[in-house]
Structure 1
Amino acid sequence: MNHKHIINMGIQIVPKSKNLDSYHLVDKAIEVIQKSGVKYVVTPFETVMEGEQKELMEIAQKAQEAVLNAGADEVLVYYRMQIRKTKDVWIMDKIEKYTP
């Protein structure tokens, strides 16, 4: 069942490489998210995106491919999603009171 509501998806991509800096590889994933046009927030452990589930899953796939294409030997990908049955989930509803 795929509701057409706005959800939040946290994605953490952990690249593994013998030769390349992991922060550089993670930057490649974040670039994909930045170029996607969806609202997002980068945190020290994951990037949280806001949008329809299908769109966010497609972006996540492109982000992991970008890390592999940038030279990672493998990636570990962790997802967390908040989905409501009848209404949207907005990032700002959760963090607005903490934003200066």
Structure 2
Amino acid sequence: MPNVNVSLQVLPNVPEEDIYRVVDKVIAFIQESGVPYEVGPMETTMEGDLDLLMDIVKRAQEICVEEGAARVISVVKIDYKPGGVTMDEKVRKYR
């Protein structure tokens, strides 16, 4: 399968003072996964194989719970096209 982009926003149900700490754990996991990614102010966008990226999304939920979230709401966006898609082609002209 060609590369896809998956954007993930996690909203862990934790006390407000813990939100960034929990989100930082998810971002660290994404970084450790080795997939190309970019952190934005509202979501993190990853690039790669859809199955791998969805495994990362699933694990992100588990990390939030392990860090004390009673519930996690996530927003996931997938950009797929048959020839593949890259983050660079979308934002290159803005850099």
TM-score range, shorter chain: over 0.9
Identical columns (%): 37
Task: Choose the corresponding residue for 2:78, options 64, 81, 90.
Answer: 81
Task: Choose the corresponding residue for 2:87, options 77, 88, 91.
Answer: 91
Q: Distance in 1 between matches of 2:72 and 2:63?
A: 11
User: Which of the two has greater helix per residue?
Assistant: 2
Matched residue of 1:72: which SS?
coil
Structure 1 length normalisation: TM-score?
A: 0.89
In structure 2, give the amino acid aligned to 1:14: L
**How many residues in Structure 1 have an aligned counterpart in Structure 2?**
95
Q: Which runs of 4+ in 1 moved over 4 A?
A: none
Q: Which runs of 5+ in 1 are unaligned?
A: none
CA contact (8 A) 1:40 1:49 kept: yes
Q: Distance in 2 between matches of 1:83 and 1:60?
A: 16
Q: Which runs of 5+ in 2 are unaligned?
A: none
How large is the Cα RMSD of the aligned pairs? 1.2
